[in-house]
Amino acid sequence: MNDARLTFIGAGNMARSLVGGLVADGWDPGRIRVADPSPEQLAGMRAVAPVETLADNEAAVADSDVLVLAVKPQVMREVATGLAGAVQQFRPLVISIAAGIRESDLCRWLGGEFAVVRCMPNTPALVQSGATALYANPLVNEAQRDQAESVLRAVGLTLWLDDEQLMDAVTALSGSGPAYFFLVIEALADAGEALGLDIDVARLLALQTAFGAAKMALESDDDPATLRRKVTSPGGTTERALEVLEDGDLRGLFARALAAARDRSRELAEQFGAD
């Protein structure tokens, strides 16, 4: 697997995270090439790993086995159409990590039918703790699925979807999800301060509690509902607090929030893919 030649188009934070994770996993940096028009971004990439860097996207695609498109959705059409000739010549596996860009639109911009894996990583990938859903079109073979998974697994958990339409739900849940937890941490810290704690103390307690709860949930054989019941003593403080949250329709609020994010993801896919 590490014999594959990888090319990244885009040298931003997510690309740097992926390259750093791959090299840490033992991938030969000499087999990784990164293209970006910004000298500053390329310098930042070289600070992560001694990879080959170029300013020319088309030149970077030459002889690539895997092409990772790590650019913003707003510029994906321009980047993809500019790469069409090189991709048609070398026919690498194409991995897109751009939110809202459908596989069919990407293939159209590249000028043909190609093996494409669409991914939705989230920002904790920047600290190798991401969650990434992947969707492969029918032209992706098993070896290429393994290649795509190995690239994204370098920054955290990976799982496959059989239906590309579910990517909008993934975007709503895990793609946007870190912001929900940041908001909860912020709200907990603010509430702790209102109860008399110093804000720095309240923030640290909120952060460590969030980390500890997530670690328990990941490492326990119990599901979150069971864990919640285990820490909720009848008539105790936790039960009283949870009653307030349930009375405030916390579950319904999250359901509406995720539905709104999913709908916006669909709107953006239509917008980005419009001719």
Q: For residue range 52-70, list pLDDT tens digits in order.
A: 999 999 999 999 999 999 9
Residues 18 and 141 in one domain: yes
* Under 8 Å between Cβ of 159 and 133: yes
Residues 156 and 110 in one domain: yes
Measured CA distances, 56 to 23, 53, 112 (Å): 23, 9, 22
Q: Which two tokens stand for residue 87?
A: 């991709």
pTM for the structure as a whole: 0.90
* Mean pLDDT along residues 91-109: 95
Residue whose entry in the numeric block shows the structure tokens 């923030």: 203
Give the structural domain span for 120. Answer: 6-164
- Asked, for residue 131, whether it belongs to a domain, the answer is yes
pLDDT for 22-39, tens place per residue?
A: 998 889 999 999 999 999
Residues 183 and 66 in one domain: no
Q: Which residues contact 200 (CB under 8 A, 6 or more apart)?
A: none
Q: Which amino acid, one-letter code, is at 179?
A: A
**Strands lying side by side in the sheet with 130-136:** 52-54, 32-35, 6-9, 66-69, 93-96, 116-120, 130-136, 156-161
- Asked, for residue 68, whether it belongs to a domain, the answer is yes
Residues 158 and 218 in one domain: no
Q: Which two tokens stand for residue 9?
A: 């188009």
Kind plus residue range of the DSSP H or E element containing 25: none
- Asked, for residue 43, whether it belongs to a domain, the answer is yes
pLDDT for 176-232, tens place per residue?
A: 999 999 999 999 999 999 999 999 999 999 999 999 999 999 999 999 999 999 999
Return the closest-CA partner of residue 118 out of 135, 141, 133, 99: 135
Q: Which residues contact 181 (CB under 8 A, 6 or more apart)?
A: 210
Residues 183 and 116 in one domain: no
* Under 8 Å between Cβ of 157 and 134: no
Count of domains observed in the chain: 2
Residues 82 and 193 in one domain: no
Q: Please state, in angstroms and rounded to a whole number, the distance separating the CA atoms of residues 145 and 134.
A: 9
- Asked, for residue 179, whether it belongs to a domain, the answer is yes
Residues 158 and 211 in one domain: no
Q: Please state, in angstroms and rounded to a whole number, the distance separating the CA atoms of residues 58 and 56.
A: 6
**Phi, psi of 134, rounded to the nearest 5 degrees:** -125, 145
Domain CATH for 214: 1.10.3730.10
